[in-house]
A and B are shown apart, each in its own frame.
Chain A
Amino acid sequence: MALFSLARSHKAARVLPGFNITLGFTLTYLSLIVLIPLSALIFKTFTLTWDQFVEAVTGPRVMASYRLTFGASLIAALVNVVFGLLVAWVLVRYNFFGKKVIDALVDLPFALPTAVAGISLTALLAGNGWVGQYLEPLGIQLAFNPNGVVIALIFIGLPFVVRTVQPVLEDAEKELEEAATCLGATRWQTFSRVIFPSIAPALLTGFAMAFARAIGEYGSVIFIAGNMPMVSEITPLIIIGKLEQYDYAGATAVAVVMLVISFVLLLVINALQAWQRRHTGAPA
């Protein structure tokens, strides 16, 4: 009986026409644009022996680029967690002049082409730039070294944390905070024991998204990094370098490593988002 009603409801869902054509088109387009080209990457690596593959992805210059890419992405994502939470909090909880403009401006890193962000940040932070000229006498160099990579990645990742935390903060129930205060909690206790746990999943999702984006980022970083081998050369630039030397197999090997990492991160983000939905009780 249950099976029968299940079958019927299944059939009822297909009252709408167009399932075959839309799914067919989706799968064809997905295969042509994404899946087949990505499989070309995997097949190309099979032209390498295992030893050649390992050599290509663990050379000293490549290893240094992993350290820089992952280290800078981690620092930038952590900075974004702190300041992203701060910006989201201020935008949701307080009123001040120009709030709407600031809110819209948060998305600037999504809208501004990365190359523009790159040359602009470089112009600001170089020794003669608006900001750089005050930092240089203090012995602080933010452009043309790994610091610049971190700065560019903070810029790129900022909207991710703000935009994942903001809606959760907006939906947070004030009653819980009132209850905490009535029960004698200080404001800080209310924040750390009541508010923070409810936004933690969103914060973690935003962190993972900012981190994933930072690892693959190319356009904004290459202008400000200085691109010195072993010091300030990011992994995507290693791929470009190998391509320019017609080392297609080597470029592909490094690209496969990056692809696997981004796929794992994508699965982690999906799991985090599912957790967040369960946490907030919102419909999937």
Chain B
Amino acid sequence: MSATTINPSVRRAQAGTTEPAWVRYSLIGLALTFMFFFLVLPLAAVFTEALRKGLEAYWDALQEPDAWSAIRLTFITALVAVPLNLVFGIAAAWAIAKYEFRGKAFLTTLVDLPFSVSPVVAGLIYVLMFGAQGWFGPWLQAHDIKIIFAVPGIVLATVFVTFPFIARELIPLMQAQGNDEEQAAIVLGATGWQTFWYVTLPNIKWGLIYGVILCNARAMGEFGAVSVVSGHIRGQTNTMPLHVEILYNEYQSVAAFAVASLLALLALVTLVLKSFVEWRHARELNAAAELPPERPHA
């Protein structure tokens, strides 16, 4: 009874800030249709194409030695590139967020620069540096060091394209948190390292993990930049995305989509982890906001 009497007045009050039901449902329907065609279908297609000839063909494709070496190289690349950019991200965020200095805005723009450079150009610059006709080419050849068409070039190109990921997450976060807590720690006698480890790091933990997840996804999935410096030597300088390309161009569709399905799984894991980190971070922020200031959490 009471529901029927309240409902109309509630509806009238809401009418100012929402749309009639038919508009709402058609907008939701339109958005979901778009998402279905552009996101759900491509994702589903990867797995169905991979399993087109059954599970056995799928497993066989993944047990190829070339596929394995591609998987190994992809992990090695990410294992080098992500920690390097993690250290850089923390150092850059500390310098940019904690201090005022001249040219800070320009430095921030430069940190962002690799985001807007085409991956192909990113690969090309390392060819011009270390390739046979590059700046250091003759010297490298004389000392029998291979960077281009070898693993170091792949790692370098990956480091370039994932360069800003972690710094980008940390800079706004550390700026928002300000310096008060760190200054208090220093005044109370903590060393710089202790301050970072016990004060700053717990504050930026979730942003850091978030950045690492995104950086890792890009590092494992990079195609354009790596393609330029790799030389596509099967079993040696092929990462998973490059291996997908080779198989696809050889019309080995099932094998190509089988390797691609691993990358798609990686993407799904990335999305789940990302949502989890966002959820935990929001929960901690809410908990901190509800904490009475005079009785801090023990």
Contact = CB atoms under 8 A, between A and B. Distances in A.
A263 B116 CA distance: 7
A192 interface: no
B27 A94 contact: yes
8 contacts: A13-B99, A34-B160, A41-B124, A158-B38, A187-B20, A218-B120, A243-B127, A258-B121
A229 B272 CA distance: 41
B101 A181 contact: no
Interface in A147-176: 154-155, 158, 174
Contacts of A109: 39
Contacts of B109: 266-267, 270
Nearest to A242: B124
A35 interface: yes
Contacts of A240: 120, 227-228
Query: Number of contact residues on B: which range applies?
Result: 35 or more
B15 interface: yes
Interface of B: 15-20, 23-24, 27-28, 30-32, 34-35, 37-43, 45-46, 49, 87-88, 91-92, 94-96, 98-101, 107, 109-121, 124-129, 131, 133-135, 156, 159-160, 163, 176, 179, 182-183, 186-187, 191-192, 195-196, 214, 217-218, 220-224, 227-228, 240-242, 244-245, 248, 253, 256-257, 260, 263-264, 266-268, 270-272, 274-275
B148 to A, nearest CB: 11
Contact of B260 (A17, A86, A120, A255): A120
Contact of A22 (B43, B95, B228): B95
Contacts of B45: 120, 123-124, 129-130
B157 to A, nearest CB: 10
A22 B118 CA distance: 28
Interface in A58-82: none
Specify the main secondary structure of chain B where it touches its partner: helix
A276 interface: no
A218 B27 contact: no
Nearest to B136: A40
A57 interface: no
A115 B260 contact: yes
Chain A contact residues: helix, strand, loop or mixed: helix
Given A86-B30, A178-B17, A263-B116, A16 B192 contact: yes
A239 B124 contact: yes
B125 A40 contact: yes
Contacts of B87: 25
A18 B224 CA distance: 37
A119 B160 contact: no
B224 A102 contact: no
B91 A252 contact: no
B43 A33 contact: no
Given A41-B124, A86-B27, A119-B244, A105 B271 contact: yes
A112 B241 contact: no
Given A40-B125, A123-B45, A177 B16 contact: yes
A133 B155 CA distance: 41
A168 B55 CA distance: 46
B46 A120 contact: yes
A266 B163 contact: no
A90 B263 CA distance: 29
Nearest to A185: B16
Nearest to A220: B223
A123 B49 contact: yes
A159 B266 CA distance: 18
Interface in A89-120: 89-91, 93-94, 96, 100, 102-117, 119-120
A26 interface: yes
B228 A112 contact: no
7 nearest CB pairs, A to B: A113-B221, A216-B118, A181-B16, A219-B223, A218-B224, A17-B192, A111-B267
B94 A18 contact: yes
B179 A16 contact: yes
Contacts of B245: 115, 223
Nearest to A14: B99
A115 to B, nearest CB: 4
Contacts of A14: 99
A23 interface: yes
